[in-house]
C-alpha cells in the first residue's frame, strides 16, 4: 500500500501492516503527535513528537511494529503526553515504565521457574531435563505461570496439589511439588522472596510411600534373598538387586551410577551432591560382598561409563522400572520394591543394636538447616564395620540348599 492511499487517521491496522517502504525514510501522522515511521528496508516503528521544557521539539521512540501495535502505541503516547504536560521528562518516564514492566514480568512464577531450570539443567541428563520442564509446562504454568510468585498463597498451592491428587497422579504431584519448592528456594536465596509457601505442604498431601517402599517381613527375607541370587534373567539386574540390599542406597542412585564414582581398591563409593536427594555428597562403604558383586558387574558392563547402561542407548541408564520389574518377575509385586531394601536394612540394623546415627548416616538422612549440617563421610569407619556385619548377616539368612522363586499366580 502506498502512503498516498491512506484515507483515515488514526491509521488502520491494515494500513500499518501493508504500508510499503520508499527510497527514503518517511513518517506518517497517526494523530496527536504520534507518527508511524517506515524505513527503506521495511522496518516500521512508532515515534512521538513532543515539546521539551525549553520549548524545543524532539522525537521519542515508542517501539517497533508489530511488537507494539497501534492501540499500544496510542496508549503509551497518551501517557507520555500527560507526563510532558505535567512538566516531567518523557524520556525518564519511558525508562521508568520500562523498568517497572520488566520488574512486573520478572516477578511472575514462570520466568522464575525457567531461571531455576536453566541454572540446573546442566546437572541433569537431557531426558530428565525434558521431563522436568515438561511437567512444569503441563501442570504449573497454565495455573500460576503469569501470577506474581510472591502473591501465591500456601492455600492456593495446597489446593493445586490436591487437584493433582484427585487425578491419581501422586508421583507426578510429588515431583512437581519438589520442583516448585526448589524454585521458591532460589527466590528466597536471591532476596526476591521472604518465605517459601510450599515448604510444609507435604505434611498435608498424599504419597505413594506405602507402595513404593513395600518390603517383605523378616520371616520372608531369606526366601527373597535366595530368589534374587537365583534370578534367571539379566545378570546385571540380579547384581543390581544384590547391591541395593548390600548398600541401602536409593534405586536411582545405583541405577544412574557411573563407574568413575567407585574406588574398588579402597572399597568406597562417592556419590556427588547433584545425584543425591539432599544435594549433599555421600560416601558409601562397600562390604566384601558388595565388591564381589561390583567386580562381577564390571566384567559385564565395565566397557561402558555406566554400571547399568540402557539396552538401546548405552550412554543412558537402564529404565527406572528395571529393578522393580525384576522383583515382579520373581513374584514380589506389592511385597518388595527397590526402595524397600532401605527399610529392611534400617530395621535389621536398629534391631541388632547399631546406633541410630550410624544407620541414618548410611541412609544419607539429615535434617534440614543448621542441625542437619552433613559430613559426607560421617561415621565412615563405623559404617564400614556395620555394613560388613550386615552383608555377613544376609549371607547367613540366605544359606540353604533350597532355592524358592515365587511365581505370579
Active site residues per annotation: 250, 277, 339, 342, 365, 374
Q: How many helices (H) and strands (E) does the chain have?
A: 17, 7
For 163-216, the DSSP string reads HHHHTT-HHHHHHHHHHHHHHHHHHHHTTS-S--TTTTGGGGS---HHHHT---
How is 29-82 classified by DSSP, letter by letter?
EEETTEEEEE-TTS-EEEEEEEE-TTS-EEEEEEEEETTS-HHHHHHHHHHHHH
Find, among 303, 305, 308, 301, the residue nearest to 325 by Cα. Answer: 308
The angle, 0 to 180 degrees and rounded to 10, between the axes of the packed helices 235-247 and 380-398 is 130
Write the CA distances from 68 to 71, 100, 156, 330, integer angstroms. 8, 17, 34, 65
| Ordered strands of the 262-263 beta sheet | 262-263, 268-271, 282-285
Specify whether the CB–CB gap between 247 and 96 falls below 8 A: no
Grid coordinates 564381589 are at which residue? Answer: 292
Neighbours of 160 (CB within 10 A): 21
Return d(Cα 34, Cα 28) in angstroms, integer.
Answer: 9
**Is residue 283 within 8 Å of residue 270, measured between CB atoms?**
yes
Compute the chain's Rg from CA coordinates. 32
Q: Which residues of 108-138 are buried (b: 16+ CB within 10 A; e: fewer)?
A: bbbebbbebbeebeeeeeeeebeebbebbee
- Phi first, then psi: what are they for 282, rounded to 5°? -135, 135
Amino acid at each position: 500500500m502506498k502512503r498516498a492511499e491512506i484515507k483515515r487517521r488514526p491509521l488502520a491496522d491494515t494500513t500499518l501492516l501493508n504500508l510499503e517502504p520508499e527510497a527514503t525514510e518517511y513518517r506518517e501522522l497517526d494523530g496527536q503527535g504520534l507518527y508511524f515511521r517506515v524505513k527503506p528496508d521495511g522496518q516500521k516503528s512508532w515515534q512521538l513528537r513532543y515539546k521539551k521544557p525549553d520549548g524545543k521539539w524532539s522525537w521519542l521512540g515508542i517501539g517497533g511494529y508489530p511488537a507494539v501495535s497501534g492501540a499500544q502505541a496510542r496508549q503509551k503516547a497518551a501517557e507520555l503526553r500527560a507526563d510532558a504536560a505535567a512538566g516531567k521528562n518523557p524520556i525518564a518516564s519511558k525508562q521508568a515504565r520500562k523498568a517497572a514492566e520488566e520488574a512486573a514480568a520478572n516477578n511472575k512464577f514462570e520466568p522464575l521457574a525457567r531461571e531455576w531450570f536453566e541454572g540446573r539443567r546442566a546437572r541433569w541428563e537431557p531426558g530428565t531435563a525434558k521431563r522436568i520442564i515438561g511437567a512444569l509446562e503441563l501442570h504449573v504454568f497454565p495455573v500460576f505461570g503469569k501470577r506474581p510468585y510472591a502473591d501465591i498463597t500456601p492455600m492456593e498451592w495446597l489446593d493445586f496439589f490436591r487437584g493433582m491428587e484427585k487425578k491419581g497422579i501422586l508421583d507426578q504431584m510429588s515431583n512437581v511439588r519438589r520442583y516448585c519448592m526448589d524454585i521458591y528456594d532460589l527466590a528466597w536465596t536471591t532476596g526476591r522472596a521472604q518465605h517459601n509457601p510450599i515448604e510444609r505442604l507435604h505434611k498435608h498431601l498424599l504419597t505413594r510411600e506405602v507402595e513404593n517402599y513395600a518390603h517383605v517381613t523378616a520371616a520372608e527375607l531369606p526366601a527373597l534373598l535366595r530368589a534374587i541370587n537365583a534370578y534367571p534373567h539379566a545378570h546385571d539386574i540380579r547384581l543390581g538387586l544384590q547391591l541395593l540390599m548390600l548398600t541401602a542406597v536409593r534405586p536411582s542412585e545405583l541405577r544412574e551410577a557411573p563407574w568413575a564414582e567407585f574406588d574398588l581398591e579402597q572399597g568406597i563409593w562417592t556419590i556427588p551432591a547433584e545425584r543425591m536427594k539432599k544435594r549433599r555428597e555421600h560416601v558409601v562403604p562397600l562390604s566384601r560382598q558388595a565388591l564381589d558383586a561390583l567386580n562381577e558387574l564390571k566384567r559385564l558392563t565395565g566397557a561402558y561409563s555406566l554400571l547399568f547402561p540402557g539396552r538401546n542407548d548405552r550412554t543412558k541408564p537402564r529404565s527406572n522400572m528395571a529393578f522393580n520389574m525384576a522383583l515382579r518377575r520373581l513374584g514380589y509385586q506389592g511385597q518388595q520394591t527397590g526402595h524397600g531394601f532401605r527399610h529392611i536394612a534400617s530395621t535389621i540394623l536398629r534391631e541388632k543394636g547399631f546406633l541410630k546415627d550410624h544407620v541414618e548416616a548410611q541412609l544419607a538422612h539429615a535434617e534440614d538447616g543448621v542441625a542437619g549440617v552433613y559430613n559426607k563421610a560421617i561415621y565412615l569407619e563405623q559404617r564400614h564395620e556395620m555394613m560388613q556385619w550386615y552383608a555377613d548377616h544376609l549371607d547367613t539368612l540366605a544359606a540353604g540348599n533350597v532355592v524358592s522363586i515365587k511365581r505370579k499366580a
